[in-house]
Amino acid sequence: MSQTAPAISPLSAGLRCKCPSCGKGPLFIHALNMRERCSACGLDYKFVDTGDGPAIFAIFILGFLSMGVAMIAEFKFGVPWWVHVIILALVMPLIAVLLLRFLKATLIALQFKNKAEEGRLLRD
Ligand SMILES: [Zn+2]
């Protein structure tokens, strides 16, 4: 990774799902598919390696959120069963995709900012 230091914050790039270098080009095609390179500055996204990080964070956050919402809906408001179905089967997947986009873009921006990459032995 030989790109220059980013001028924008990783949180800003993550929230807007934009390029971690210029903050202008979109990171994703459709929902979660990565582009090959930035359409604005040409940054090659081959360095991106977030692994399972965004999914793990999303699982913990969504698990806590969905159980909290379900328990509050049941015990505080006593909603009927079909409201639980709407919340858990329709709303939570939408929140999951939005959360995954934000988390993946933020982790990519943090990886870019901190120049995190696989360790290698120095030769030459
Ligand atoms: Zn860019």
- Report whether pLDDT(118) > 60: yes
In a domain, 32, yes or no: yes
Which domain range does residue 56 map to? Answer: 10-113
**Beta bridge partner(s), residue 37:** 44
- In Å, what is the CA distance from 40 to each residue of 18, 27, 97? 10, 11, 25
Ligand 1 geometric centre to CA of 37 (Å): 8
Residue 4 lies in a domain: no
pLDDT at 1 over 60: no
Summarised one tens digit per residue, pLDDT across range 102-111 is 999 999 999 9
**Number of domains into which the chain is organized:** 1
Neighbours of ion ligand 1 (CB under 5 A): 19, 21-22, 25, 38, 40-41, 43
Q: How far is the CA of 18 from the centre of ligand 1 (A)?
A: 8
Is residue 2 in some structural domain? no
Residues 30-85 have pLDDT tens digits of 888 999 999 999 999 988 888 899 999 999 999 999 999 999 999 999 999 999 99
Q: Does any domain span residue 118?
A: no
34 φ/ψ angles, rounded to the nearest 5 degrees: -80, 145
Query: How many Cα atoms sit within 13 Å of 4 on the Cβ side?
Result: 5
Q: From the centroid of its chain, how far is CA 80?
A: 33
Does residue 107 sit within a domain?
yes
